[in-house]
Amino acid sequence: MLKWLSTLMVLPDALSNGKLEPTQTLAASIVLGCYRFCMSPWIICVFDDDAGNRFVLQLAAALAMQTPHRMLTGRFSPAYDASIERLAGHPDTLSLISQPSTGAGPAPRLFEVRADALIGDSALHERYSAQQSSSCGFSRSRRAPDGHAVGRGRGHDGQSRAVRAAERIGGRILFAGVPIGVVVAHAQRHGGPWPTSVCLRTTSVGYAAIECFLRPVAMQGAPAYAIAARDGKAAS
């Protein structure tokens, strides 16, 4: 079974000019489709500083204004509510939005957790349901849970280390990829590294089995510094 969490990294340069991210657009992207879009952001990594904290509070306010429609089937809603209760009861999570569902659809939720706690406990990076997202402060860590389909970056030049980290866990890296924004192209692929990949083009028999360990990564909208890092050259 595929199990991935699309991750958004909000890099410091994106917030340094005082103009915070368009959190209304991000909030709408999170609730888009009400569990029907696997590309919606699930984990949002923000540095634990003043700009990052303002961003998280603004995102929480924008999410609280969202009114998702009903889930695809009647069994999704009880499962969603149960998973939210488990997540809210975790000792390392802080609920930033706590409001009851209106009946038309599940209320969006946003939880805050430190990066070291997220990485250290697999229960915190389970895929629960569509309108639950986690914001993680990652001032002390650059690691992330293994095996994800999508990594998104919001930043500018000088962030090549974050790009290299995303390459190790993601099959697609989208720059400024909010909302969903996945380009359909020959180089695009569905899924990330094992166990999230659906590119079953290899065999487990014979010498060709080595191909199952290949790690293709699609980079969409990559800036010059990211391409230069891949080519081993300095960005001009």
* pLDDT tens over the chain, length 236 residues: 344 567 788 877 777 765 555 788 888 888 877 766 767 777 888 888 888 888 899 889 988 888 878 777 777 778 778 888 888 888 998 888 877 766 677 888 888 888 888 888 877 766 554 445 566 554 333 344 444 444 555 545 446 777 777 777 777 788 776 666 677 766 666 655 555 555 566 666 777 777 766 767 778 888 877 777 666 554 44
Model pLDDT, residue 1: 33
Instruction: For residues 43 and 22, give the distance between their C-alpha atoms in angstroms, rounded to a whole number.
Output: 17
**Residue 126 CB coordination number (10 Å):** 13
Model pLDDT, residue 70: 78
Rounded to the nearest 10 degrees, the angle between the axes of helix 160-169 and helix 224-231 is 70
Model pLDDT, residue 86: 85
Question: Which token pair is 59?
Answer: 């995102």
Q: What is the dihedral of CA 189, 195, 201, 204, to 10 degrees?
A: 160
Model pLDDT, residue 85: 85
Asked whether the bond before 195 is cis by omega within 30 degrees of 0, the reply is: yes
* Element of type H or E holding 135: strand 132-137
Q: What angle do CA 175, 120, 20 make, to 5 degrees?
A: 35
Model pLDDT, residue 234: 47
| CA distances to 97, 166, 224, 225 from 160, in Å | 33, 10, 10, 7
Sheet of 109-114: strands edge to edge? 94-95, 109-114, 132-137, 43-46, 7-10, 148-154, 170-175, 218-220
Superfamily of domain 7-168: Aldehyde Dehydrogenase; Chain A, domain 2 (3.40.309.10)
- Judged by phi (left if over 0) then psi (alpha if -120 to 50, else beta), residue 105 lies in beta
Instruction: For residues 137 and 12, give the distance between their C-alpha atoms in angstroms, rounded to a whole number.
Output: 12
- Predicted model pTM: 0.73
- Is 159 in a helix, a strand, or coil? coil
DSSP line for 76-90: HHHHHHHHHHHHHTS
